[in-house]
Amino acid sequence: MKALRVSIFFLLCLIGSPEVLANTIRINPGQSIQKAVDRASPGDTLIISEGTYKQFGIVIRKPLTVIGENYPVIDADFKGNILIVATSNLTIQGLKLINTGRSNMDDSAAIKFFDSKDCIVRDNILENTYFGLHFSNSSQLTIINNKISASALREFEVGNGIHLWKCKNSYIGNNEVSGHRDGIYLEFVTNTQAKENKIQKNMRYGLHFMFSHDNSYIRNTFKNNGAGVAVMYTKNVLMKENRFEENWGSSAYGILLKDISDSEVVGNIFLKNTVGIYMEGSSRMEFTNNTFRENGWALKLMASCDQNTFKANNFTQNTFDISTNGSLVLNTLTENYWDKYEGYDLDKNQIGDIGYRPVNLYSVIVEKIPAAVILWRSFMVTLLDRMEKIIPTLTPDEMIDESPKMKPYDFG
Amino acid sequence: MLKLLKYALYDILKSRFAMIYTVFMILVAVSIYQVSDDLSKVSLSLMNIMIMIVPLISAVFATTHFYNNLEFIELMLAQPVKRSHVFLSQLFAVILMLSLSIMIGFGLPMLLWGADTSLITLLAVGVILSAVFAGFAFLASVLTRDKAKAIGISLGLWIYFSLVYDGFVLYLIYSFADYPLEKVTLGLVMLNPVDLGRILMLMQLDISALMGYTGAFFQKFFSSSMGLLIAGGTLALWTLLPNLFAMRVFKKRDF
Amino acid sequence: MISVKNISKKFGKLQVLKDFNLEFRLGNSYALMGPNGSGKTTLIKTILGMVMPDEGEIFVKNQPIKGSHSYRQYIGYMPQIGRYPSNMKIGQLFSMMKDMRPEIKDYDLELVEAFELDQMKDKAMGTLSGGTRQKVSATLAFLFSPDILILDEPTAGLDPIAVEILKAKIKRERAAGKLILITSHIMSDLEELTNQAVYIFDGEVYFNDTIESLKELTGEVRFSPAIAKLMQWTLKKKVTKREMSHVETT
């Protein structure tokens, strides 16, 4: 953060008094951006005037500040990358980059960074790109306020919106990504923060990361992505106050956790997902103060998960609260609010006097025979469930919240 | 016809039953609104009441009403009016009264405390189920000459459609779990008006779950215009067929 | 005016009317008699179109009644027990009946006045006594001055004053040349009000002629014993039914 502030301050100085430290070069429509880049000295500022530039494959290998005036359009006309960067201390701001190549041979991107450091990409608009922003082997990146959208019809026709591979110490904030394969894709990315991004309507995952330890994801919105969010093989992750909404489909999840351990999921909202959280092979995670609302299944907790704790979450209006695939339960449920809880509280301590079993008999049946979902809420199924609540036979006995809250938590 | 309906309706709307039923519905709705903290929970609870109670009350009330009005129906038949008009005026009066009770009983609290699409759907489903079960009741009434028997048949139909039928479907699904059953299940629920009404509600309340693997098939069907047309058409048939059949019998029945 | 031709009707296994033939003519008043369950009510209901005959046809004013409803405007019918929607007021009942015959504008309000129904216009039918309800039924039957009056036990349940009012009214209508059909168990009423006797037994017409000839046939001077004799004969007939089956009515 500090680095960011300093660099923004630095940048502001540059704009305010261009002649103080370095030269300012203005580029007008018809002129070659590549030539201007080649001409510039490190530290110079390039101002691209309003207009359309049919150019692509522009290589930048020196620290520069590239600023677009009133969003000049750089149109690659479906040929390859637009900007290719391998440097440090580069700022790219206010450009409108459209129509990259479509090839997945070279993974065409609007801006592609290799081995870079301390770079800022901000306030850009990317339209109809194959990959949006593509970073490899870079660090200290600041990626903020970009609007990235594609309009592919099929998953294989498009790359990722913000793609980081082997990067670290970066910040991804306030970006909007839509229509790509994965909204944000991180692989081998560490110590990075993604904050307040809006990731919607991407073909596959809103957020997808693997082997990316020690990252945090705060106040992002993942909405209506093909399969929600999927994260794998990672430890020490913080997910806080994100929204996972309307991820609908046969294998769509608010969030899919596979082999995630020692992480925290706090204060998130899972709204109207087919499955709020699906987890397998995950351990030692803490889920607190989350809201699960109007999901088909709030949680699908596979038996391969252990030592996870669900504490003080709200479960309201989910069709099914929890389903699982085994009878062994190695996870803890405590002090959650369940709207389906029908117990009583005689000692008035706001905690129900009898436990709540969140696994519904019918969810077990639906798990086995999906077509049976059509009978849900029929009188007969309600009767079956009542019976099961009294004498559990098919549902795991130990899956129980012994201290269910009587009233929902107010998470504000 | 309209004249007959006017008088039949006037009588039925002033009946003690109409008052009690409406007040009952209002009490149910008000207490649910008071207890629940948000709208979808309200529609969930109201739906449970609706699916159970409305068909039951419709069936029993329509049968009782038919038999209580038998002498009056006879008097009507001695007048220069068409038999079908006598029948329809009685039937519409019953359906309108039942629908009005639901509309007022559930609708007033909705106006007061707000409603969403699921609650509007609920009202529509309630009206349709009232009409369907009034049809069943009239059919049972014209087919028998004994009030107790007719009420028995109406209750039997109610139990069958609310409970037994679903049990049968579940059993079937369970037995043939290895086969793709979506289309069969879909066909089977078409044969039960209560299920159809319930599924229209599911589409509002459990859309997220319906988007799951097989559910997506149902969801697609019921949200496509073709599917809605078929579902709506089937519900219309369920409303029309028992009533039309009852009218046919009524036209030939001896009094 | 009304011809009943070859009417047969079965209720389940019970043959109620057997190949029934009758002719009711304008200007006559018929006493429809027979023991309980003999088919009187079924006959009336068949004429009114409430019961569908298995075979045969009925003509009213020379028109077959099958599939028709308009002929009923010529008939005023007073049922044995008139039950009405309990929340409907007397006034509404009357306007409803008037609504059903929009083409008739002249109403016979004689009984309305005689029974003082006007003062009770706003009373709900459900609150009325059985007698008052009978008054309403009677008034409705006469309200449209129909050519044909079918009165099923008209005097039952009425107080003596009302009985006299009703009887006087029936007599006046008879004098006016209407066709009147009455069933009753009160022989004196029948003798007073009718000139023709129809005796039905076991689904068949056993006797159909003037009261005078009935008296002649039975050798009785008074109506009541004549009927009693007729009844005795029919009971004998029941025992030796097959042999007597040639005893057909005229």
Residues of C in contact with B8 (CB under 8 A): 85
Name the residue of chain B whose CA is nearest to C82's CA: B71
Q: Does B72 touch chain C (CB under 8 A)?
A: yes
Six-digit token string for A407 = 């009233």
Distance from CA of C115 to the nearest CA of B (A): 21
Name the residue of chain B whose CA is nearest to C97's CA: B79
Q: What is the pLDDT of residues B162-185, one digit of tens each?
A: 999 999 998 998 888 888 888 888
Q: Could you give the CA distance from residue A70 to residue A171 in angstroms, rounded to a whole number?
A: 25
Six-digit token string for A13 = 């100085």
* A149 located within any domain: yes
**Residue A251 confidence (pLDDT):** 81
Of B15, B78, B81, the CB nearest to C87: B15
Q: Are strands A221-223 and A176-178 parallel, antiparallel or unpaired?
A: unpaired
Name the residue with tokens 């997220």. Answer: B208
Domains contained in chain C, number: 1
Q: Could you give the CA distance from residue B27 to residue B31 in angstroms, rounded to a whole number?
A: 6
Residue B125, amino acid: V
- Classify residue A384 as left (phi > 0), alpha (psi -120 to 50) or beta: alpha
Name the residue of chain B whose CA is nearest to A245's CA: B208
Mean pLDDT of C189-198: 86
Six-digit token string for C9 = 């009707």
Taking the alpha carbons at both ends of chain C, their separation in whole angstroms is: 18
Q: Phi and psi for A265 in degrees, rounded to 5? A: -125, 105
Q: How far is CA C83 from CA A188, B210, C119, in A?
A: 88, 53, 20
Q: Are C190 and C184 in contact (CB under 8 A)?
A: yes
What torsion, rounded to 10 degrees, do the Cα atoms C225, C229, C234, C240 define?
160
Ranking A174-188, A332-346, B91-105, B106-120 by mean pLDDT, the lowest is B106-120
Check pLDDT > 80 for residue B86.
yes
Name the residue of chain C whose CA is nearest to B4's CA: C96
Check pLDDT > 60 for residue C245.
no
The string over A343-377, giving b where at least 16 C-beta atoms fall within 10 Å of a residue's C-beta and e elsewhere, is eeeeeeeeebeeebbbbbbbbbbbbebbbbbbbbb
Q: What is the mean pLDDT of chain C?
A: 84
Mean pLDDT of B95-117: 90
Check pLDDT > 80 for residue B251.
yes
Q: Work out the pLDDT band at A254, boundaries 50, 70, 90.
A: very high
Distance from CA of B53 to the nearest CA of A (A): 11
Of B4, B72, B82, the CB nearest to C83: B72
Six-digit token string for C159 = 């107080």
Residue length, chain A? Answer: 412
CATH assignment of the domain containing C121: 3.40.50.300
Residues of B in contact with A318 (CB under 8 A): 208
Under DSSP, the state recorded for A41 is: P
Q: Work out the pLDDT band at A9, boundaries 50, 70, 90.
A: low
Chain B segment 53-92 residues within 8 A of A by beta carbon are none
When scoring B6, B10, B11 by the number of chain C Cβ atoms within 10 A, the one with the most, hence best to mutate, is: B11
Residues of B in contact with C77 (CB under 8 A): 75, 78
Six-digit token string for A394 = 């098919």
Q: What is the pLDDT of residues B66-81, one digit of tens each?
A: 998 888 888 888 888 8
CA-closest candidate to residue B139, choices B53, B236, B3, B239: B239
CA-closest candidate to residue A109, choices A159, A181, A153: A159
Of B48, B208, B214, the CB nearest to A319: B208
Q: Are A316 and A339 in contact (CB under 8 A)?
A: yes
Inter-chain CB proximity C52 and B77 less than 8 Å: no
Q: Work out the pLDDT band at C248, boundaries 50, 70, 90.
A: very low
Residues of B in contact with A371 (CB under 8 A): 173, 181-182, 185, 214
When scoring B72, B82, B145 by the number of chain C Cβ atoms within 10 A, the one with the most, hence best to mutate, is: B72
- Classify residue C41 as left (phi > 0), alpha (psi -120 to 50) or beta: alpha
**Residue C63 confidence (pLDDT):** 85
Q: Does B8 touch chain C (CB under 8 A)?
A: yes
Check pLDDT > 70 for residue C249.
no
**Residue C243 confidence (pLDDT):** 40
- Please compute Rg for chain C using Cα positions: 19
Check pLDDT > 70 for residue A60.
yes
**Percent of chain B residues past pLDDT 90, beyond the cut:** 44
Give the relative orientation of helices B182-190 and B215-223 as an angle to the nearest 10 degrees.
50
Q: Could you give the CA distance from residue B184 to residue B176 in angstroms, rounded to a whole number?
A: 11
Q: Does B11 touch chain C (CB under 8 A)?
A: yes
Q: Are A156 and A133 in contact (CB under 8 A)?
A: no
CB atoms inside a 10 Å sphere around CB C25: 11
Boundaries of every domain in chain B: 2-252
CB atoms inside a 10 Å sphere around CB A31: 16
Under DSSP, the state recorded for A246 is: -
Domains contained in chain A, number: 1
Mean pLDDT of B221-247: 89
Q: Where are the alpha helices (DSSP H) in chain B?
A: 2-13, 16-35, 39-68, 70-77, 83-113, 117-143, 147-159, 165-175, 182-190, 193-205, 207-210, 215-223, 225-252
Name the residue of chain C whose CA is nearest to B69's CA: C85
Q: Could you give the CA distance from residue B209 to residue C98 in angstroms, rounded to a whole number?
A: 59
Residues of A in contact with B182 (CB under 8 A): 371
* C250 located within any domain: no
**Residue B222 confidence (pLDDT):** 81
Mean pLDDT of B7-34: 89
Check pLDDT > 60 for residue A13.
no
Of C73, C79, C85, the CB nearest to B74: C79
- The boundaries of the domain holding residue C219 are 2-244
CB atoms inside a 10 Å sphere around CB B220: 12
Angle (CA) C230 C233 C237, round 5°: 135
Highest averaged pLDDT of the listed ranges A58-67, A245-254, C109-118:
A58-67
Q: Work out the pLDDT band at C36, boundaries 50, 70, 90.
A: confident
Residues of C in contact with B83 (CB under 8 A): 49, 69
Distance from CA of B147 to the nearest CA of C (A): 17
Residue A9, amino acid: F
Check pLDDT > 90 for residue A351.
yes
Inter-chain CB proximity C101 and B78 less than 8 Å: no
Six-digit token string for A312 = 């003080």
**Residue C130 confidence (pLDDT):** 87
Check pLDDT > 90 for residue A121.
yes
Check pLDDT > 50 for residue C246.
no
Q: How far is CA C15 from CA A166, A394, B59, B237, C57, in A?
A: 99, 62, 34, 38, 17
* C249 located within any domain: no
Give SS3 for A373: helix
**Residue C26 confidence (pLDDT):** 86
Q: Could you give the CA distance from residue B216 to residue A251 in angstroms, rounded to a whole number?
A: 11
Residues of B in contact with A375 (CB under 8 A): 166, 169-170, 173, 195
Q: Are strands A91-93 and C75-78 parallel, antiparallel or unpaired?
A: unpaired
Mean pLDDT of A379-394: 82
**Percent of chain C residues past pLDDT 90, beyond the cut:** 7
Check pLDDT > 70 for residue A257.
yes
Q: What is the mean pLDDT of chain A?
A: 89
Check pLDDT > 50 for residue B35.
yes
Q: Does C127 touch chain B (CB under 8 A)?
A: no
* A73 located within any domain: yes
Of B167, B194, B212, the CB nearest to A274: B212
Q: Work out the pLDDT band at C241, boundaries 50, 70, 90.
A: very low
Please state the ipTM of this predicted complex.
Answer: 0.83
Q: Could you give the CA distance from residue C52 to residue A184 in angstroms, rounded to a whole number?
A: 80
* A32 located within any domain: yes
Name the residue of chain B whose CA is nearest to A297's CA: B209
Q: What is the pLDDT of residues A287-305, one digit of tens each?
A: 999 999 989 899 999 989 9
Of B14, B72, B78, the CB nearest to C72: B78
Inter-chain CB proximity C84 and B75 less than 8 Å: yes
Q: Work out the pLDDT band at C242, boundaries 50, 70, 90.
A: very low
* A51 located within any domain: yes
Inter-chain CB proximity A373 and B211 less than 8 Å: no
Q: Are A264 and A238 in contact (CB under 8 A)?
A: yes
Check pLDDT > 50 for residue A86.
yes
Q: What is the pLDDT of residues C122-144, one digit of tens each?
A: 888 888 888 899 999 999 999 98
Distance from CA of C224 to the nearest CA of B (A): 31
**Residue A403 confidence (pLDDT):** 94
Q: Does B187 touch chain A (CB under 8 A)?
A: no
Ranking B173-177, C84-88, C245-249 by mean pLDDT, the lowest is C245-249
Q: Are strands A264-266 and A269-271 parallel, antiparallel or unpaired?
A: unpaired
Residues of B in contact with C123 (CB under 8 A): none
Mean pLDDT of C91-119: 86
Contacts of A343 (CB under 8 A, 6+ apart): A352, A353, A354, A355, A356, A404
Exposed (0-12), middle (13-18) or buried (19+): which is A221, by Cβ within 10 Å?
middle
Q: Are C90 and C117 in contact (CB under 8 A)?
A: yes
**Percent of chain C residues past pLDDT 70, beyond the cut:** 94
**Residue C80 confidence (pLDDT):** 84
Check pLDDT > 90 for residue C228.
no
Inter-chain CB proximity C79 and B255 less than 8 Å: no
Q: Work out the pLDDT band at A178, boundaries 50, 70, 90.
A: very high
A and B adjacent (3 or more CB pairs under 8 angstroms) = yes
Inter-chain CB proximity A380 and B186 less than 8 Å: no
Q: Phi and psi for A48 in degrees, rounded to 5? A: -100, 120
DSSP C182-229: EE-S-HHHHHHH-SEEEEEETTEEEEEEEHHHHHHHHT-SSHHHHHHH
Check pLDDT > 60 for residue B105.
yes
CATH assignment of the domain containing A82: 2.160.20.10
Of A371, A380, A382, the CB nearest to B185: A371
Chain C segment 80-119 residues within 8 A of B by beta carbon are 81-88, 92, 96-97, 99-101
Pick B251 or A234 by higher pLDDT: A234
Exposed (0-12), middle (13-18) or buried (19+): which is A105, by Cβ within 10 Å?
exposed
DSSP H or E stretch at residue C140: helix C130-143
Residues of B in contact with A250 (CB under 8 A): 211-213, 216
**Residue B62 confidence (pLDDT):** 94
C partners (3+ CB pairs within 8 A) are B
Q: Work out the pLDDT band at B215, boundaries 50, 70, 90.
A: low
Inter-chain CB proximity B7 and C92 less than 8 Å: yes
Distance from CA of A249 to the nearest CA of B (A): 5
